[in-house]
Amino acid sequence: MRNRHRDALSSISWQAFERLVADHFRDHGYEVEHCGTAVSGTRFDGGVDLRLRKDGQLTLVQCKHENAYQVEHNAVHQLIGNKINEGAAQAIVITSGEFTPAALRAASQGHALLIDGVELRRRLGSRLPRPDTSASNAPVARGGNRWELVGDQVERLARKGRRAEPPLGERMIRVVVAIVLLVVVIYALPALLSSLFTRHGGTPIPRLMTLPAPKVAHPTEPLQIEETTTRVAPVLPLSAAARVQSAKEKAESEAETRAFLERVPELGKSPAGKPVK
């Protein structure tokens, strides 16, 4: 809650809170049907604690005795659904504390009336319970008082077990811190253990994500050069037909050269004027 009340109304049990609200409506001329768990003894009340009738109209009331947590939109939606199913004229959610913004929006959209702790204390007026100093020293009475004390204890344990969910920013910071710690453990722990083992004469632990160093030849060592042998194919003697063909091709080449030089006389003479052979 934003503003917590520390008075007699906030310290009474949830059963007494329901009875106090029921008596308030009786004083204002309503016919009250108290159907909540405070009088029925059942575990669930279906989302309706009081059914009020006046001038032929039905009003449904849900009581929420909260002193630490705000009333959420779920209770408002549930009562609006009961209002539609039963054909009630009005739905009222009453709390001794506060409502969440989502609950206020749900009430405005579903036409429900919300009465928080400040408004309830103003309406109760003289019906507000007075602090009883002798109640703490009084012995446990019989019947209903004993069950009220048991119900109070169960309610306190239930509220103590509830934990408000941290905001999104705080959750993101927790995730980042967890990732950083994990990285530190992965990369720093092997180095620490390696130094400890080395200090005590043990074998060092290899670091994670470390590649072996490449092997480099020492500059003073002679380079090893492998000798290669080139094989040359032997020259085979030409056959008679090959020799005749080679001589024929040579003669044709010389004839083409002479014919070219005869067509161009100046190219076929040397500087001294003699023909070129």
pLDDT digits (tens, 9 = 90+) for 236-250: 566 777 777 888 888
Q: pTM of the entire structure?
A: 0.47
Token duo for residue 173: 């910071």
Long-range CB contacts for residues 126-130, cutoff 8 Å, separation at least 24: 127/20, 127/23, 127/24, 127/27, 128/7, 128/8, 128/9, 129/8, 129/9, 129/12, 129/16, 129/20, 130/8
Provide DSSP, 141-200: -STHHHHHHHHHHHHHHHHHH--PPPPHHHHHHHHHHHHHHHHHHHHHHHHHHHHHHHHT
Which residues, including other chains, have CB under 8 Å from residue 120's CB and lie 6 or more apart? 9, 94, 95, 96
How remote is the C-alpha of 67 from its chain's centroid?
Answer: 31
Query: In what order do the strands lie in the sheet containing 113-115?
Result: 31-34, 50-54, 57-64, 90-95, 113-115
Segments making up each domain of the chain, as ranges: 8-132+142-161
Q: What pLDDT is recorded for position 156?
A: 59
Fold of the 8-132+142-161 domain = Trna Endonuclease; Chain: A, domain 1 (3.40.1350)
The residue-averaged pLDDT of 3-10 equals 83
Query: Are 21 and 27 spatial neighbours (Cβ–Cβ below 8 Å)?
Result: no
More confident residue, 167 or 230: 167
**pLDDT(1) > 90:** no
The confidence band for 114, taking pLDDT boundaries of 50, 70 and 90, is: very high
Cα–Cα distance measured from residue 260 to residue 248, given in angstroms and rounded to the nearest whole number: 19
Across the chain, mean pLDDT equals 76
Residue for token digits 């909260």? 66
Token duo for residue 180: 């950083």
Q: What pLDDT is recorded for position 232?
A: 58
The residue-averaged pLDDT of 113-125 equals 91
How remote is the C-alpha of 125 from its chain's centroid?
Answer: 48
